[in-house]
Amino acid sequence: MNGKYSLNAPADASLQFSFAGMPAREIAVENRQVIDVGMDTGIQSTDTVTMESIRNLRMGDDVPLYVVDGKEVSSADLDNIPPQSIESINILKDQAAVTLYGEKAKNGIVTITTRK
């Protein structure tokens, strides 16, 4: 699945998007032809996320690829990132991960963007 869809909806309709483990989103159509929707992981604050918890993220028994600010890093490199400098953390898996980074991402990707 690539996440793309096509449908006809009345201009005054609302669309609800959901995915397992993520809060649902409801978006008003409002005569738009294209609606881009990002799903929220539900993590509200990096204060509760530790580097240890990020390093221990697993896709089954396999270790994911870690990418910080566009650069591939080892799990040990995560210790050098102050948690307060993290702007966002995203997790990609399955074909989405392989499409971006090739076979080395077959176990998923944890991307971290730091504040500039």
Whole-model pTM above 0.75?
no
Instruction: List pLDDT tens digits, range 23-82.
Output: 788 889 998 888 887 777 665 444 556 666 776 776 667 889 999 999 999 988 888 888
Contact yes or no for 105/98 (Cβ under 8 A): yes
